[in-house]
Amino acid sequence: MTIQIRKLDSSAIDFKATLDALLAFEASTDDAIETAVAKILADVKARGNAAVLEYTNRFDRLPNGGAASVDTLDLPQAELQAALDVLPASQRAALQVAADRIRVFHERQKQELQGFTYTEPDGTVLGQRITPLDRVGIYVPGGKAAYPSSVLMNAIPAQVAGVGEIIMVVPTPDGVKNQMVLAAAALAGVTRVITIGGAQAVGALAYGTETIAAVDKIVGPGNAYVAAAKRRVFGTVGIDMIAGPSEILIVCDGTTDPDWVAMDLFSQAEHDELAQAILLCPDADYIAQVEASIAKLLPQMPRQEVIRTSLNDRGALVKVRDMDEACAIANGIAAEHLEISAAEPQQWADKIRHAGAMFLGRYSSESLGDYCCGPNHVLPTSRTARFSSPLGVYDFQKRSSIIYVSEAGAQTLGKVAAELAYGEGLQAHARSAELRIKD
Amino acid sequence: MTIQIRKLDSSAIDFKATLDALLAFEASTDDAIETAVAKILADVKARGNAAVLEYTNRFDRLPNGGAASVDTLDLPQAELQAALDVLPASQRAALQVAADRIRVFHERQKQELQGFTYTEPDGTVLGQRITPLDRVGIYVPGGKAAYPSSVLMNAIPAQVAGVGEIIMVVPTPDGVKNQMVLAAAALAGVTRVITIGGAQAVGALAYGTETIAAVDKIVGPGNAYVAAAKRRVFGTVGIDMIAGPSEILIVCDGTTDPDWVAMDLFSQAEHDELAQAILLCPDADYIAQVEASIAKLLPQMPRQEVIRTSLNDRGALVKVRDMDEACAIANGIAAEHLEISAAEPQQWADKIRHAGAMFLGRYSSESLGDYCCGPNHVLPTSRTARFSSPLGVYDFQKRSSIIYVSEAGAQTLGKVAAELAYGEGLQAHARSAELRIKD
């Protein structure tokens, strides 16, 4: 199969329709998965560890006839530290730099949200208090999609928020543990690691079992079973967004080395056949250069099959009228990752209203952000950047309103509340306010 | 039917199990509703205004044979202002005070979230930008549950956030408009009011029609059809939490007038037969006084049937060992509304980790907070205060990460990213970082 990424022109009469069709992604719901997940969750809720053990032994094909009890599936902290200690020095150093930088950025996020109170002249005090969640679960996929960077990005914000217990679940198919994932858990302050996965792990975290305390929120990526399970337990616990395929949108003024832009498109496309990589550029000649770079560089890539399918099926090189139009189109796309690969990028960044993360200037490749710049790599996909945010410390905190009404305050506020309560036909509300009013 | 609110003692051996059973609330999903809503949403998505018009004329029984087009269902701003102008002066003044106070509190929330950037020694800039949503939909129920206070509480935070378009939908069963609701919309900065409701209104807001632009988020309470529709469009648009029955938990040291506490319990119970009102107190004699107040005051209440059912079915008066235990139990309940009706309430507030809103001191009745203190009355129910927050300005804003990597920064960060990317088997990520490194 040859690489044949589609080329679009924003001045074409059918451009908007073509682009909309390209962007459209409907997460399919699979009835078989839904039914299986509902059964597993109900079973874990009813039978606890016994169910978790059975599903784990069955689905993860654990060696030696499987685990004898859920207790044996816990990994001691010493094993996490040992995994860190035996990593090659360069890997360990890189993981440490990434963890440190992620922590610095998220500490800054925490500083921003301190809560507040203010006192009114009559002594009434109003405010908002910020507290961390008590206990969270972090789902980490096993097997080939096991990413240590994802452990850092999910666990460190929870740790910075002050979450007391960070429980990581990670399946070990065929008993194989990913040492770099365990090392990342050691660095990220994970307090407990249990080698379970799938819907059974989500159920154990949401409902609790004899030996696993129920958590308040579950975050982290997973396969279709995990996603379906998270959707179903939402409400009993909090969840993060269910991620769609990853996306990059590059707005380029034509001054970046075309090889760099081609490789940035690849770095998104290599994730997944469904990943989406799009370039917007006002310079047709430059687009041709990027196309040539793609053709030249693709054969060198170990994951070229995935990249080719992704670019052919969902990618695009779009000739736009000018950079202003590129920014307008970018706002409509509301991409997860937006690179503004341009000289003087800030002028264009100022026109962007919707993006999960903005990478400004030609040195800011998305891959740097994926690993070690500091901001989170868990970002809103599928146009949800219109209304949602990167994963952050705030996802592991919640607010409570503080209302202290003074005796004097109750006199004035009581009359207002009673008036409105009678207007709504809620007389007990009105009387409750009026009882505090002195005659 | 007599009032017979259950009395519990925290020292009873089965207390925890009894309390857990009392708190348990499983939102039932009704297959008939799910099927009907799925059909309506698909129909609105496919046929737009034609479908919206048909469902509206059918379900809302509009007079004169129904509306001729969706355009005629828009209410002009002048009609909202007229509704405000003709309100009785005392009601209009009360609504204005409430709106002003809600705005002041939410402005304070907005101040807290300003975003940030910081520059590293090598010139790399990292940060977080806060932007408002472009367009939101606010669902307001019609008929008997039409609450002007709810319009203020949902629309004002959106306005303070800087949302450009605030589109309110409100059904008008039998063509009846609630003037106080329209007046509240005028005060709250709603930019457009459309008299449609139900799943068809949710679908119109989520998908857009020929004359209704798709919104980015839908908030506001509704019946089971509206809740099911919101759940289904989640992902296409943002939604607020789906609220469960309202709850009040009163922790009282026995020094508040028992009539006040009884009326505060009523003010929650009068909402709904499923509402939950619970008192925790270490003083058995005081509990008996509250019980007597309940018996004395109940016959005076217009909504006594609802109150009686709610208190009998889901209420409780709980004797606890001491105030410390009361706080521990309160953390387990994570109530939507928590009154600490006590002398020196702050000492107990300091022990509370989970509550939607805390009302401190005996003058701070929940009803004051429902209408006019300033903090939002849309609060997390059903124990979700463990992980979620009151509705606020932050629900109408989102964050974008800002990453500008300098040329020097790309040299050091590139090596770290490449090391980790190779470790994860993502070679295009690694190459993308390495291309920016000078030899």
A72-124 tens-digit pLDDT:
999 999 999 999 999 999 999 999 999 999 999 999 999 999 999 999 999 99
**pLDDT per position as a tens digit, B109-160:** 999 999 999 999 999 999 999 999 999 999 999 876 679 999 999 999 999 9
- Measured between CB atoms, does B270 come within 8 Å of chain A? yes
Residues of A in contact with B360 (CB under 8 A): 125, 402-404
**pLDDT per position as a tens digit, A313-335:** 999 999 999 999 999 999 999 99
Per-residue confidence band for B1, with pLDDT thresholds at 50, 70 and 90: low
Structural domain boundaries of chain B?
31-239, 244-386, 405-434
- How many percent of chain B have pLDDT more than 90? 90
Question: What CATH number does the domain located at B244-386 have?
Answer: 3.40.50.1980
Q: Which of B235, B373, B385 sits opposite A403 (nearest CB)?
A: B373
**Residue-level pLDDT at A288:** 97
pLDDT at A144 over 70: no
* CB spacing of A388 vs B302 below 8 angstroms: no
Mutate: best of A234, A348, A399, A406, partner B, most B CBs <10 A:
A399
Q: Which of B106, B45, B3 is nearest to B316 (CA)?
A: B3
**pLDDT per position as a tens digit, A280-317:** 999 999 999 999 999 999 999 999 999 999 999 999 99
What is the ipTM score, two decimals? 0.95
CA separation for the pair B219, B395 (Å, rounded): 9
More confident residue, B25 or B165: B165
Phi, psi of B401 (to 5 degrees): -75, 145
**pLDDT per position as a tens digit, B254-309:** 999 999 999 999 999 999 899 999 999 999 999 999 999 999 999 999 999 999 99
Q: Is A139 annotated as a binding residue?
A: yes
Contact partners, residue B138, CB within 8 Å, separation at least 6:
B151, B154, B155, B158, B166, B167, B168, B169, B190, B218, B219, B220
DSSP state of B234: B
DSSP character string of B332-387:
HHT-SEEEEESSSTHHHHTT----SEEEESTT--HHHHHHTSSS-S----TTGGGT
H or E element, residue B49: helix B49-59
For residue B183, give the amino acid letter. Answer: A
Average pLDDT of chain A to the nearest whole number: 95
**CA torsion, ordered A106, A110, A111, A113, to nearest 10 deg:** 140
Three-class secondary structure of residue B243 per DSSP: coil
DSSP character string of B106-175:
HHHHHHH---EEEE-TTS-EEEEEEEE-SEEEEE---GGG--HHHHHHHHHHHHHHT-SEEEEE---GGG
Is residue A121 within 8 A of residue A67, CB to CB? The reply is no
List beta partners, residue B279.
Answer: B250, B317
Is residue B391 within 8 A of residue B420, CB to CB? The reply is no
Place of tokens 């920014």: A327
Q: What is the 3-state secondary structure (H, E, C) of chain A?
A: CCCCCEEEECCCCCHHHHHHHHHCCCCCCCHHHHHHHHHHHHHHHHHCHHHHHHHHHHHCCCCCCCCCCHHHHEECHHHHHHHHHCCCHHHHHHHHHHHHHHHHHHHHHHHHCCCEEEECCCCCEEEEEEEECCEEEEECCCHHHCCHHHHHHHHHHHHHHCCCEEEEECCCHHHCCCHHHHHHHHHCCCCEEECCCHHHHHHHHHHCCCCCCCCCEEECCCCHHHHHHHHHHECCEEECCCCCCCEEEEEECCCCCHHHHHHHHHHHHCCCCCCEEEEEECCHHHHHHHHHHHHHHHHHCCCHHHHHHHHHHHCEEEECCCHHHHHHHHHHHCCCEEEEECCCCHHHHCCCCCCCEEEECCCCCHHHHHHCCCCCCCCCCCCHHHCCCCCCHHHHEEEEEEEECCHHHHHHHHHHHHHHHHHCCCHHHHHHHHCCCCC
DSSP state of B256: S
Mutate: best of A101, A301, A371, A383, partner B, most B CBs <10 A:
A371
Catalytic residue among A247, A270, A337, A339: A337
CA separation for the pair B244, B271 (Å, rounded): 12
Q: Is A271 annotated as a binding residue?
A: yes
* CB spacing of B358 vs A403 below 8 angstroms: yes
**Residue-level pLDDT at A63:** 85
Sign of the torsion formed by the C-alpha atoms of A371, A373, A377 and A382: negative
Class of domain A6-22+244-373 as given by CATH = alpha beta
pLDDT at A278 over 80: yes
- Measured between CB atoms, does A404 come within 8 Å of chain B? yes
* CB spacing of A401 vs B357 below 8 angstroms: yes
Tokens describing residue B28: 């039932």
Contact partners, residue A121, CB within 8 Å, separation at least 6:
none
Catalytic residue among B106, B247, B270, B337: B337
Residue B109, burial from CB neighbour count under 10 angstroms (0-12, 13-18, 19+) = buried
- Measured between CB atoms, does A215 come within 8 Å of chain B? no
Sheet holding B192-194, edge to edge: B74-75, B192-194, B165-169, B135-139, B217-219, B238-239
Residues of B in contact with A376 (CB under 8 A): 401
**Residue-level pLDDT at A3:** 87
Mark A98-114 as b/e (b = at least 16 C-beta within 10 Å): bbebbbebbebbbebbe
**Shared fold status for B31-239 and B244-386:** yes
A319 to chain B, minimum CA–CA distance in Å?
23
A336 catalytic, yes or no? yes
Three-class secondary structure of residue B317 per DSSP: strand
Nearest CA in chain B to A375: B401
B184 to chain A, minimum CA–CA distance in Å?
11
Place of tokens 């107190």: B281
For residue B238, give the amino acid letter. Answer: G
* CB spacing of A372 vs B420 below 8 angstroms: yes
Residues of B in contact with A93 (CB under 8 A): 419
Nearest CA in chain A to B353: A131
CA separation for the pair B86, B395 (Å, rounded): 33
CA separation for the pair B328, B132 (Å, rounded): 38
- Measured between CB atoms, does A179 come within 8 Å of chain B? no
Average pLDDT of chain B to the nearest whole number: 95
Mean pLDDT of A16-37: 88
Catalytic residue among B336, B339, B366, B377: B336
- Distances, alpha carbon A130 to alpha carbons A117, A199, B345, B356, in Å: 11, 31, 18, 11
Q: Which of B152, B187, B163 is nearest to B110 (CA)?
A: B163
Mean pLDDT of A5-15: 96
| Cα atoms in the 13 Å half-sphere on the side-chain side of B213 | 11
* CB spacing of A238 vs B420 below 8 angstroms: no
Q: Which of A133, A260, A355 sits opposite B436 (nearest CB)?
A: A260
Nearest CA in chain B to A115: B112
Question: What CATH number does the domain located at A31-239 have?
Answer: 3.40.50.1980
Mean pLDDT of B304-320: 97
H or E element, residue B251: strand B247-252
Is residue A39 within 8 A of residue A350, CB to CB? The reply is no
Q: Which of A133, A235, A371 sits opposite B417 (nearest CB)?
A: A371
Q: Which of A358, A410, A430 sits opposite B363 (nearest CB)?
A: A410
Phi-psi bin for B340: left (phi > 0), alpha (psi -120 to 50), beta?
A: beta
B337 catalytic, yes or no? yes
**Residue-level pLDDT at B40:** 97
More confident residue, B316 or A174: B316
- Measured between CB atoms, does A117 come within 8 Å of chain B? no
- Measured between CB atoms, does B28 come within 8 Å of chain A? no
**pLDDT per position as a tens digit, B199-219:** 999 999 999 999 999 999 999
Residues of A in contact with B364 (CB under 8 A): 403-405, 410
**Residue-level pLDDT at A146:** 77
Phi, psi of B286 (to 5 degrees): -65, -40
Mean pLDDT of A241-257: 93
Is residue A196 within 8 A of residue A169, CB to CB? The reply is yes
